[in-house]
Amino acid sequence: MESYQRRSPVSFTSRMAESVRRDGWEVALRYHDEGKGPFLIDLSHRPKWDIQDADLSGIRPMGIPVSEVPGECIFQNGFLLNRMNQTQAALWHLSGESPKMPREFLYTDVTDGYALLSVIGKEMFFIMEKISASDLSSPTKKPPFLIQGPVSQVPCQIVVLGENEGYFGLLIACVRGYAQSMTEAILDSGVEWGLRPAGENIFCNWLEPLSA
């Protein structure tokens, strides 16, 4: 039985309709009145690792090869692997049972230090262009892809995941201390489209076809 508690840096005013305890976190699976989107989803509980090494070419985190090109991402077996720069990559576990932490020295667990948010909806790009100058809809980039840039003046990793039945999705990771102000800025930017909090079930159901 879990005897410790981990707290998300994100707090919503909406009431949870269904939740589960997982790895010390209280994970919201569903909120009351989620509607049909767009959605803002807190995924801060999802395992995240920073990977650093002078040569990443021969490294295969969770069996996934690291892309040679910064900004490219690979989504495989529930893991998203983002190439950040010459010596650094990020590994996020987005679906399935929580894995064991890799024990090699080049992995640093940053799960508790970083917030992870997802915006999903038909209006996702319109919402994001109000708070980020990054070109998230570039036709020259194939999802999933990573952009490192500010959202509401906060340095972030932004990953455009793709599209499923007209609903576009992305992930935003930022340092824990900025999480609540970031959340409020995103909600404010999406108020005209009815952006509201949603639980993990919405994200997993949207992501599942992309996993095939």
Q: How many domains does the chain have?
A: 1
Positions in the chain whose pLDDT score sits under 50:
1
At 152-186, the pLDDT tens digits run 989 999 999 999 999 999 999 999 999 999 999 99
> pLDDT value at position 2?
52
**pLDDT given at position 156:** 96
pLDDT of res. 179: 96
The answer, yes or no, to whether the previous bond of 102 is cis (omega within 30 of 0) is no
For residue 147, the surrounding DSSP H or E stretch is strand 145-151
Which CATH number does the domain housing residue 54 bear? 3.30.1360.120
The pLDDT score that the predictor gives to residue 1 is: 44
Sign of CA dihedral 148, 152, 155, 159: negative
In this structure, the number of other CB atoms found within 10 A of the CB of residue 42 comes to 24
Q: What is the pTM of this model?
A: 0.94
The per-residue pLDDT for 212 is 61
Which residues form the domain of 129?
A: 1-212
